[in-house]
Structure 1
Amino acid sequence: MHTTLASRFLALRGAAAWLLALATAFVLAGCAGLPPRAADTPVLAIPASNATLLGRAAAHLDAPRDGLSSVRPLIEASFALDARLELIRRAQSSLDVQTYQLGNDKTGRLLLRELRDAARRGVRVRLLLDDFYTSGMDPLLLGLATESNASVRLFNPFVNARDHSATRWMEFLGDFRRLNHRMHNKLFVADGAIAIAGGRNLADEYFLRSEVANFIDFELLMAGPVVAESAAVFDTYWNSDVVYPIETVAINHRTPAVLKADFETATSLRFAPWPDPPGDGDVLGDPPLGLQLLNIPTLQWMRADAHASADSPNKALGVMRHPTESVAQRFHELAATARSSVLVISPYFIPGDEGMARIREGRRRGVQVSVITNSLADSDEPLVNINYNRYRVDMLKLGVELYEVSTQQLKRSGQFRDLLKKARGRLHAKLALIDREWVMLGSMNLDPRSALLNTEFGVRVRSFDLTQALLYAYQLDDIEGVYRVVLKPDGENVQWIGTGDVNNEVLDSEPDSSMLTRFQLLLFSWFVPTDQL
């Protein structure tokens, strides 16, 4: 999920809504602001130790002591959720969880229950959430925070009228400059030994548990030096000036006993059922993490040169102290070294003038550039897609290969037909493969919002084995379930060629979207600055 300024304003329809919004914004501007940030002693990650099972597993994986890390791709959603549950249950010292969205749904509540149980076992739990999607969740989060070993903190929090989404919109309008910056990072670290990084938020639709729309995503299991780097990033955010303990911003009139009882009910099996177990092996033939951890001496992952980095949390203050050290800049620098190919997978893709200049330079050097993104009909942020459309013809003229993910095409492809069933399928993975040697992954989209407004977390991996695994798992050398976008014979317009079945239909207009929808989005896009998308 990638909430833009445009999608926020789309929620406020009609003149009456606008008048109410503006009036309330003026009222809220005079309401209480953020409380003073307490000068607490910094709390730091607990390093990996052989005293824990996960520490011993990481030590075994890192036995060569060659400065490399061990990695394992988490491609299938069921294996990704299962890996988190296994790590939570096996943790003995600490769990550090950072995410943009924790769903108030069966997946989010299941993970909260598991974190609560870990805290009661004596595991130190730190949960760091961006505050944009926590509306109505304060009792749940406070319930977790009542545990003596658990802490919950919020990034760039809302202060007034926290219980309802509508009133939060009003505060957003009244304090737009601050609240428009969000923490988009996703990171999970267990016992300082094993970490998960990638694009998935912690909600039903990221683990194929939604009956409405599900996301196709990617994450990486990691052990070794890259985990220590990731833990240091978490500490920087946890102790930053833009992060607040939930107790300092949430209004609470319940006793700890009541909070715990309500938490118990809300996270019971009725509201947080167990997921279906993963299969015996994923698309690469690897068994679930729990089975791997039963026999540590046989544990084997890919060895790779891997490094983690993140934007400064002060980006939320509108301060880019070291823009050359941003995740976006690191990606551009790595892509500029490409000798043969750059393959970008991004659900939201707006190259902009600078991006087009980079593409032009790469093509001049003979680098093949390929982009996979969402189609207009299947993007959860269609205004982003409308802006991407402005660059399509120019990219195709430069020889860029363009592919757009489509639910209808995916359902014709054997790989996703059974998984999606009646739900929509949308791309959410953020990946780049460079020269089939480097992989960039994490939370960053290739759009202005990721580059300029939101904070992001990324991992850079040098591994031929990992790139080959991704090429195989996603069928990137013979991709299906997408539309291939090409120039029409006139060289000035585009058409779409299906890849989901033997018919390979050819379309001259945006697949699965009406002319009225396209016209409305185009009109609205004229009033939304591109740097807000």
Structure 2
Amino acid sequence: MNIPGRPARSARWKPGHALRLLENGEEFFPAVFEAVGAARREVLIETFILFEDKVGLALRDALVAAARRGVQVDLTVDGFGSSELTPPYIASLCDAGVRLHVFDPQPRLFGFRLNVFRRMHRKLVVIDGERAFVGGINYSADHLADFGPEAKQDYAVEVVGPVVADIRRFVSDALDKPAPGRHWLRRRADARTVPDPTQAEAGPAQAMFVTRDNAEHRTAIERHYRVAIRSARHEVVIANAYFFPGYRLLRELRRAARRGVRVRLILQGEPDMAIVKTAAEMLYEHLLRANVKVYEYCKRPLHGKVALVDDEWCTVGSSNLDPLSLALNLEANLVVRDRAFNACLRERLESLMEHGCKEVSVEPNAGSRVWRGVRSFFVFHFLRRFPAWAGWLPAHAPRLASTQPPAAPEASSGASGLPDPH
């Protein structure tokens, strides 16, 4: 039996795609809202975070307008990341005909949420089965520059072409298929079915939709990273917000640098969580000794999850290179082979390194160097084993609940309207 959200057995390269790189909310949100506004039949959205701020309100308005003109709209949010939506907000969506689904809604215990692990971390949009968006940008105002110093730096990609059918099928399957051993609320019996559209080739790029789940595709995204790095001939650039990968990926980075590949990492210098920088710093000695270059982005928190290898290969998506994304969360990336898109991403990342980063250097102090060496040794061997250890955490089959409008929403209430009582 298939598990909701599970991709096809093996992702495959498909030709014929047109791509557009979108940087930050200033480029991403207008593109998505415009696409929703032009939708004729169907809008499918998955997101980890949906906040009830100016971005969340703008998304609601766009989805409500689409639903009212007869478009089938399904919005899936994560029960942990989007737990604070109020009853009036939910009611405004449901009353217009938007079908709101909550991934793994769980009750709180003594005020604390229990569903911290195995989160639905994907950020996907599919419009009429013809256009899709894949990336790391959530629907929250902290992805806009006017949010201030804590505004996030992030990326997404808009794609048109045959791979959109794969993305649509993946999101639709997550809504339609029950998980073994758990109850899933299916679409209502009167729900309209939108047929799979035929998607013609739209451009020269090859693309592949790759996902990570907790069943058959536990290491799919990491594996594509490792294969690409292993094949690198002259360049690897990775910009990743939460960097604490496993031993095998670190080994490929070190090996690439030692055979003469220019390997550069862009990591957080002004993190949204202090532990993020502390964890990454534990790896610096191990990486720098192999001639891997490390740059810390210091203008604001880095939230991106992108990479490029040589002149063609690149990826944009939701997956960080840390234990949560590589061993626990549900993730989705678009992998691309295209010189023009690769060059565009490289230009953006070069600008980031030139104007917003500082390069990390090896500390000359001998005592500190000895301590870092000892620390690096233990971290290194921990990373060799953490994927197996992470697998001991609860690998539950999460529940997808379809939300109905609250019976009597109160505008002044601050309580969540999700099926997840406080």
TM-score (norm 2): 0.75
Q: Distance in 1 between matches of 2:93 and 2:117?
A: 27
Report the alpha carbon displacement of residue 335 of structure 1 after superposing the two structures with TM: 2.2
User: What does residue 199 of structure 1 align with?
Assistant: 136
Q: Which runs of 5+ in 2 are unaligned?
A: 6-13, 189-200, 370-385, 391-422
Q: Secondary structure at the match of 1:68?
A: strand
Question: Would the alpha carbon gap of residues 245 and 211 (structure 1) be closer, same or farther in structure 2, given more than 3 Å must change?
Answer: farther
Q: SS of the counterpart of 2:330?
A: coil
2:18–2:160 Cα contact (<8 Å) kept:
yes
Which of 124, 133, 142 pairs up with 2:72?
124
Structure 1 residue 383 displacement after superposition = 1.2
Q: How many residues matched? A: 348
Change (3 A) 1:352 1:131: same
Equivalent residues in 2 for 1:88-127 (5 A)? 88-127=36-75
Could you say which residue in structure 2 is the equivalent of 1:467?
342
More helix by share: 1
Cα distance, 1:133 vs. partner? 2.8
For structure 1, the 5+ residue unaligned runs are 1-38, 44-65, 173-177, 249-299, 408-424, 495-528
Residue 341 in structure 1 maps to residue 235 in structure 2:
yes
Deviations 1:117-158 (A, max 9, x none): 11000000000111113333152224312334x211111111
How many Å separate the matches in 2 of 1:227 and 1:244? 25
Q: Which amino acid aligns with 1:147?
A: A
SS in 2 for 1:213: coil
Aligned 8 A contact 1:152 1:246 in 2: no
Q: State the match for 1:370 in structure 2.
A: 264
Tell which deviates more after alignment, 234-243 or 91-100: 234-243
Relative to structure 1, is the Cα distance of residues 239 and 365 closer, same or farther in structure 2, using a 3 angstrom cutoff? farther
Aligned amino acid, residue 218 of structure 1: Y
Q: Work out whether 1:379 is the aligned partner of 2:379.
A: no
Equivalent runs, 1:398-417 vs 2, <5 Å: 398-407=290-299
The answer to whether the 8 A contact 1:351-1:391 is kept is no
Question: Within 1, Cα distance between the matches of 2:141 and 2:187?
Answer: 27
Residues 190-269 of structure 1: pairs in structure 2 closer than 5 A: 190-211=127-148, 213-240=150-177, 241=179, 244=184
* Greater relative CO, 1 or 2 (CA 8 Å, sep 6+): 2
Cα deviation 1:23-50 (Å, max 9, x = unaligned) = xxxxxxxxxxxxxxxx9xx99xxxxxxx
Query: Structure 1's 311 and 118: CA in aligned 2 closer, same or farther, altered over 3 A?
Result: same
What residue number does 2:28 align with?
80
Helix, strand or coil for the counterpart of 1:215?
coil
Question: CA deviation digits over 1:220-274, x for unaligned, max 9?
Answer: 11101121111122123223437955999xxxxxxxxxxxxxxxxxxxxxxxxxx
Secondary structure of the equivalent of 1:89?
helix
Change (3 A) 1:231 1:246: closer
After superposition, what is the alpha-carbon deviation per residue over 1:440-475, rounded to whole angstroms, capped at 9, x for unaligned? 110001111101010100011011111211222333
- Alpha carbons 2:24, 2:152 under 8 Å: kept: no
Q: Secondary structure at the match of 2:81?
A: coil
Give the C-alpha shift of residue 477 in structure 1. 9.0
Amino acid of the structure 2 residue aligned with 1:321: E
Cα deviation, residue 76, structure 1 = 4.7
Q: Which residue of 2 aligns with 1:287?
A: none
Conserved? CA contact 1:155–1:243, under 8 Å: no
How well do the aligned residues superpose, as a CA RMSD in angstroms? 3.0
Change (3 A) 1:356 1:321: same
User: Matches of 2:164 and 2:301 in 1, distance apart?
Assistant: 29
Contact 1:237 1:243 in 2 (8 A): no
1:234 counterpart SS class: helix
Distance 1:357 1:448 in 2: 16
TM-score by length of 1: 0.60
**Alpha-carbon distance in 1 for matches of 2:227, 2:183:** 30
Identify if the C-alpha distance between structure 1 residues 141 and 336 changes in structure 2 by more than 3 Å, giving closer, same or farther.
farther
